[in-house]
Amino acid sequence: MNRQSGAGRPAVLAIAIGDPVRAAEWRDAFAAAAPDLAVLPADEADPAAVDFLLLWRAPPGTAARFPRLKAVLSLGAGVDAILADPAIPAGLPVIRMVDEALTQGMSEYVLWQVLRYHRREPELAAAQRGRRWAPVAAPLAGERCVGIMGLGELGAAAACRLAACGFRVKGWSRSAREVAGIATFHGPAQLAAFLAGVEILVCLLPLTPETAGVLSAPLFAALPRGAFLVNAARGEHLVEADLLAALASGQIAGATLDAFRAEPLPPDHPFWSHPAIIVTPHIASLTRPASGARSLVAEMRRILAGDAPLHAASRDRGY
């Protein structure tokens, strides 16, 4: 593979990741995936020699320090924080992480949480805490309707995994999408039809100005009373006060939350102690360096060969 960046020198990748342990793991992964790729910490690289920048939880303006970038690479599937940086040049490609391991991890998380509510695990756990023998019956999967908001790589895969288990699955996205075996809806005009009958709602939407705050009182009111919520996307999708009110009224029976407006979630936050909320610490699907590096090396190969990357984010859409 030709990884020459010009002037006969190897391409240079700088890594700007806030966690030094994770940064070291990614350096090792890229070294294994592309031995002739020069990989350096961003603060040790010559800015004028850097061709690609792996970016995650770095201060705004980081990319602007490197004047010859061919692309910015995201460590995660979401690129909202990167695109929000006004210092990133408008024409510079921002590459989303699309990786089979990341997709599988998210599908497993969604299936885990949906099965938790489908088989009424919160009621069984409460009975155990109270030392009560309280058998509960769950419907069959085909009698349960699950809705997936967001039908990108992660959402479509999760929807198919649930459908393979027998659930009736509906999907909603910003623009029209077709997923085999899934009833799909799109756009604001079809949101109410999508929500009707959804007993377990899973949010996997990208974060954009249009989707911020979408998990709010009007949406909760459109669900059947006693529905459940799983948010494995971004904390900014959720209006926290509206969820607490919906839980208090019984409109929402329970919620699993993996992403939050403030992370780590502050110790005094009411979500920690709420009996109907399950908190997971943003671990729905973690990018694995070995497979993630191979995916990004393939994208860098395309760019260096003069081809368009496969997974560039759209500035207009915001993802």
What amino acid positions are annotated as catalytic residues? 234, 282
User: Alpha-carbon distance 96 to 136, whole Å?
Assistant: 43
Contacts of 241 (CB under 8 A, 6+ apart): none
Which tokens in the block code for residue 194? 């999508």
DSSP letter for 311, please.
S
By 3-state DSSP, what share of the chain in percent is helix, strand and coil, each rounded to 5? 35, 20, 45
Helix (H, G, I), strand (E, B) or coil at 80: helix
Which amino acid is residue 140, in one-letter code?
L
Buried b (16+ CB within 10 A) or exposed e, 71-99: bbbbbbbbbbbbbebeebeeebbbbbbbb
User: Alpha-carbon distance 159 to 288, whole Å?
Assistant: 22
Contacts of 51 (CB under 8 A, 6+ apart): 5, 11, 12, 13, 68, 69, 70, 300, 304
Phi, psi torsion values for 121, nearest 5 degrees = -60, -40
DSSP letter for 223, please.
S
Handedness of CA 155, 160, 162, 163 (dihedral sign): positive
Handedness of CA 38, 44, 50, 52 (dihedral sign): positive
Paired residues of 215 in beta bridges: 238
Contact 205, 237 (CB under 8 A): yes
User: Alpha-carbon distance 315 to 176, whole Å?
Assistant: 19
Which tokens in the block code for residue 154? 């992660």
Q: Which residue has the tokens 């009110």?
A: 245
